[in-house]
Amino acid sequence: MTPLTATQSFLGKYHALRTIMTMMMWFDNWGDVWGCYRSGVDLPPLQFRNGLVIRHRPEDQPLLQFYEVFRDQNYRRYITDHKRGVMVDIGANIGFVTLDWTSRLPNIRVHAYEPHPATFAMLRANVDLNCPALKVKLYQEAVGGETGIIALRASALSMETTAYHSGASAGKFEEFSVPVVALDQVIERCQADGPVTLVKIDAEGAEADILEGAQPETLKGIRQFVIEYHDFLCPNALARCKHALVAAGFRCTTRPAEAAQGLLYALR
């Protein structure tokens, strides 16, 4: 065995051991999850040790979402959890962030937005399975810079549904139209449930439009943001988001994941 092959073998075993240990720590059915993962077949529903059960489809990349939301806690860094109030999940996908919030914070309410019909159906199934009926409000709508109708493009991966695309990927999307609401209306809908303590935005390129389309009073009424920015889909999205947030009185912290994508945290 050459040194390179030996190193590759060691790294492969280390990765497998680390993956098994993570699954054992988090999942009641870790053996089934690991067996399917190792065999390259569709994973079963993720049965968490805290009682959550998250259903999914292969296109939802459930382990990637689990790593980002639960293991690495990417949407909790720099954020203060509030015991009461409303959290808004824009780009909820099948519900990983929403369910993380509701499983840890029993007295908060969540308003979750997901425009894709099939992904929204999976989101609703996961919420119905895991949450009291009055704890989460679901909206099959996109959120953008203004209210109306928007054309979105869905790729083979559910997390990549977007209104933005490069020329290279233009032919790889299925297009559909959905209602779109502005952030002003999103926040107005929360009034009966309490103050908005956190807004999470993962809108695949629309993040700057969402912030720039909001009234100053709307932004000033929100305590915190965590935003996934996508400069590769919408050039200068990060700079535009920072400009809008700083003007509204927020302090911003950035955690790049890649050269043109990462997370932006905005706190007061």
pLDDT in tens, 132-149: 878 999 999 999 999 999
Tell which wins on pLDDT, 1 or 70.
70
Residue ranges of the domains in the chain? 1-44, 55-267
Give 209's strand partners. none
Give the global pTM.
Answer: 0.92
3-class secondary-structure state, position 30: helix
The second-level CATH assignment, the architecture, of 55-267 is 3-Layer(aba) Sandwich (3.40)
pLDDT in tens, 237-255: 999 999 999 999 999 999 9
Determine the residue type at 210.
I
H or E stretch covering 126: helix 117-130
What is residue 134's predicted lDDT score, i.e. its pLDDT?
82
**206 — pLDDT class (breaks 50, 70, 90):** very high
Q: In what order do the strands lie in the sheet with 136-139?
A: 136-139, 108-113, 85-90, 196-201, 224-230, 261-267, 251-258
What is residue 9's predicted lDDT score, i.e. its pLDDT?
57
β-pairing, 136-139 vs 142-144, is unpaired
Mean pLDDT of 14-32: 94
Residue 3 confidence (pLDDT) above 50: yes
Give the separation between CA 183 and CA 69, rounded to whole angstroms.
23
Give the separation between CA 142 and CA 180, rounded to whole angstroms.
4
Give the separation between CA 41 and CA 35, rounded to whole angstroms.
9
pLDDT mean across residues, the chain: 91
Check residue 8 and report its DSSP letter: H
pLDDT in tens, 38-66: 999 999 999 999 999 999 999 999 999 99
Residue 15 confidence (pLDDT) above 60: yes
What is residue 92's predicted lDDT score, i.e. its pLDDT?
98
What is residue 165's predicted lDDT score, i.e. its pLDDT?
64
What is residue 5's predicted lDDT score, i.e. its pLDDT?
63
